[in-house]
Amino acid sequence: MRNHIAASLALAVALAIASPAFAQKADDADSLLTRAVELYNAGNAAGALPLAQQALAALERQHGPDHLDVAFTLNYIAVLQQQLGRPQEAEPLLLRALSIRQKALGSDHPQVAALAQNLAMLYRAQGRRDEAELLFKRALSINEKALGQDHLAVAANVSALAALHQDAGRPRDAEPLYKRAIAINEKAFGADDPQVSPSLVALGELYRTSGRLAEAEPLFKRALAISEKSFGPDHPDVATSLHELAMTYWVLNRIDEVEPLFKRALAIREKTYGTDHPAVAQTLNTMAGFYRDQGRHADAEPHFKRVANMYEKALGPDHPGVATSINNLAVLYQEMGRPTDAEPLAKRALAIREKAFGKDSPQLLNTIHNLAELYRTLGRDSDAEALNKRAETIKQKAK
């Protein structure tokens, strides 16, 4: 599961801090936001949220509801809400922030583009691809016009649009956009600069998921070499490249090479972030999937359990990431012949997703399917059939 939310937070902060207004905040709001960012970076989005909300209240009291500093903080809170699995609460905050910036700066300002991009990321995470595409294209158009074709903000825009196309199964549309992002970053920084590595990894992931493994491997190796040369062997960017390279070798069935790469990536992330950070959970979750695929259920189970506990601690009990992790554990238990252990987990995963996305969202389909299969294993054919009918109804509504 790609961490779209963390990426959107990084983009939101990077673009919004560039605003001169950010440096002019009242001391209390500034200190509250600084502490919120520290908590988020430590993996504690739930702790960051109330501090950011207090900062918003202070800014509204001092400047009124339509100040640019208010828009910045609304944007930040919205991304935190999304990180915590509350997209319905994030959307009105982003819309309000976008309205403030448009009114203050005009509809073609780069700061408006930044908010359009973040709103598009929210819609992408919700599966609202048509709405997301319009906003991604609007952000790209604004920045191309205001900043030029080769600006770094444009590289971020085209990368985000490429990822949306990749989600939608449109690799031919995604590939030239990823290549354009690489070209912009290489022109700005040089071919061996670490700023180029994320774009290389993104294109490599597109090739890997498209079955173009021979093209994916050298991109991951190049990104790995750049990061190791620039930062040393223990940097988080090194861990990212190791993780992706391990995934590629897994698909290539070069099994003996997979586990050492995952273990090294895990060690780097634990050293960098601590043992309970979502970045650590990502590697643990993928390792658990690898062990499961290899029939090593006893090795997979503690990893899946640890991931579920980490996501619940970091994101709260009702986050979709928690649903994904406990659903994975439920499937594992079913494969291990433990359906009575699997059922409560599968039901809880479905309840979390219903709360987060609504009862008719396509985001529920995988969880519904898994629960239906579990009911068939338990001999509860009527319950399984009811779930299958529900899934079909959701599919029809989504067309």
Which tokens hold the place of 251? 């698909």
pLDDT given at position 3: 40
How sure is the predictor about 279, in pLDDT bands with cuts at 50, 70 and 90? confident
Q: How far apart are CA 327 and CA 239, in angstroms?
A: 26
pLDDT given at position 24: 41
pLDDT given at position 1: 39
E strands, 40-178, where?
Answer: none
Query: How high does pLDDT run on average in the chain?
Result: 90
Task: Tell me the mean pLDDT in the region 22-40.
Answer: 77
Of the candidates 79, 156, 92, 177, the one whose C-alpha atom is nearest the C-alpha of residue 125 is 79
| Mutual angle of helices 68-83 and 45-63, in 10-degree steps | 160
Of the candidates 327, 383, 379, 385, the one whose C-alpha atom is nearest the C-alpha of residue 354 is 327
pLDDT given at position 86: 86
Residues 6 or more apart in contact with residue 208 via CB below 8 angstroms: 216, 244, 247, 248, 251
Sign of CA dihedral 43, 198, 124, 56: positive
- Tally Cβ neighbours within 10 Å of residue 279: 22
Phi-psi region of 127 (alpha: psi -120 to 50; beta: other; left: phi over 0): left
What are the pLDDT digits (tens) for 116-162?
A: 999 999 999 888 999 999 999 999 999 999 999 999 999 999 999 99
| φ and ψ of 276, to 5 deg | -115, 15
pLDDT given at position 27: 61
pLDDT given at position 70: 96
Ordered structural domains, the chain, with CATH: 1-139 (1.25.40.10), 148-271 (1.25.40.10)
pTM for the predicted model, two decimal places? 0.78
What are the pLDDT digits (tens) for 299-352?
A: 999 999 999 999 888 788 988 889 999 999 999 999 999 999 999 999 999 999
* The residue to which tokens 């599968």 are assigned: 346
Cβ pair 303, 284 in contact under 8 A: yes
pLDDT given at position 127: 84
pLDDT given at position 20: 38
Answer whether residue 356 shows pLDDT above 90. Answer: no
Least confident of 44-48, 101-105, 202-206, 333-337: 44-48
